[in-house]
Amino acid sequence: MKTILSMCVALLLPLQATVAQAEDAYTPKVYGKKGYVWDEMTPERVEVLKMTGDPVKGKEAFRGCRGCHKADAAGVREGVYPRLSGQHASVLIKQITEIRAGIRLNPKMLPFVEDPAIAVDEIADIAAYLNSVESLRENGKGPDDMSARGKKLYTDNKCFTCHGKNGEGDAAKAFPVLAAQHYGYLMREMKLIETGARGNSHPDMVKAIAKFSQSDREAVSDYLSRLPDYRTLNAVPATK
């Protein structure tokens, strides 16, 4: 018994030291600053991705978020608060852990998602809940239907290579769903992406969005806001 115990201690001690060292060595880097590598995993994101989120617990943990993101995670129509329902869990985990690490800049929200407001395992629970929840309220659209021009810009600028032909994103690569998001939020994010103020962004996307004029951004945002929720698309049989 004694030997087994000391063996365990001998095995655990160096392991703890390695974890502590890895955490000490980690310094988050923001887009536009030296050393920024898109999608560099934070130790916390690695930890959360290994967990199986519990949507029931996630609904409970989301209580503190409802003041802004609303009870069904629909956000608000004007887009001050984004729609989170149906977003890929991998994307939600990337955004929440990067906001906590200071890679995505969101000072308004930070106190609500930081420790101790939200524990590490609650990030996985919230992501599982948000991915499954359905918002019944309609999302905000552009003032005029500019979707034909928006679709052309979205296609010509190869946005679909990451965000999908139907704006459905890519869960495996943590590319966000853009379909049925609020027009106002899409407009704001494109501006934040272009100026670098968002903090986390794929460099290729920044270059593509930088070419857009204000009216191009309006057309693309309008097009995306009018696309149906990708889960509704999945629900339609392929034969139809």
- Note the residues at the interface with ligand HEC (CB under 6 A): 64-65, 67-69, 81-82, 84, 92, 94-96, 106, 108-109, 112-113, 118, 126, 157-159, 161-163, 175-176, 178, 186, 188-190, 192, 198, 200-202, 204-205, 208-209, 220
What minimum distance in Å lies between the beta carbon of 24 and ligand HEC? 25
Neighbouring C-beta atoms of residue 51, cutoff 10 Å: 16
Residues 6+ apart with CB under 8 A from 71: none
When the beta carbons of 115 and 144 are compared against ligand HEC, the nearer one is 115
What minimum distance in Å lies between the beta carbon of 9 and ligand HEC? 37
Tokens of 96: 């929440």
What minimum distance in Å lies between the beta carbon of 10 and ligand HEC? 40
CA angle 125, 127, 174 (to 5 degrees): 140
When the beta carbons of 155 and 232 are compared against ligand HEC, the nearer one is 155
What minimum distance in Å lies between the beta carbon of 53 and ligand HEC? 12
Q: Smallest Cα–Cα separation from 182: which of 74, 87, 86?
A: 74
**CB distance 221 to 186 below 8 Å:** yes
When the beta carbons of 13 and 158 are compared against ligand HEC, the nearer one is 158
**CB distance 87 to 140 below 8 Å:** no
Residues 6+ apart with CB under 8 A from 203: 31, 38
Tokens of 42: 């934070």
When the beta carbons of 8 and 114 are compared against ligand HEC, the nearer one is 114
Tokens of 25: 């060595």
Neighbouring C-beta atoms of residue 162, cutoff 10 Å: 17
When the beta carbons of 101 and 205 are compared against ligand HEC, the nearer one is 205
What minimum distance in Å lies between the beta carbon of 4 and ligand HEC? 42
Neighbouring C-beta atoms of residue 132, cutoff 10 Å: 15
When the beta carbons of 18 and 207 are compared against ligand HEC, the nearer one is 207
When the beta carbons of 7 and 134 are compared against ligand HEC, the nearer one is 134
What minimum distance in Å lies between the beta carbon of 209 and ligand HEC? 5
Cα(88)–Cα(103) distance, rounded to whole angstroms?
A: 19
What minimum distance in Å lies between the beta carbon of 144 and ligand HEC? 19
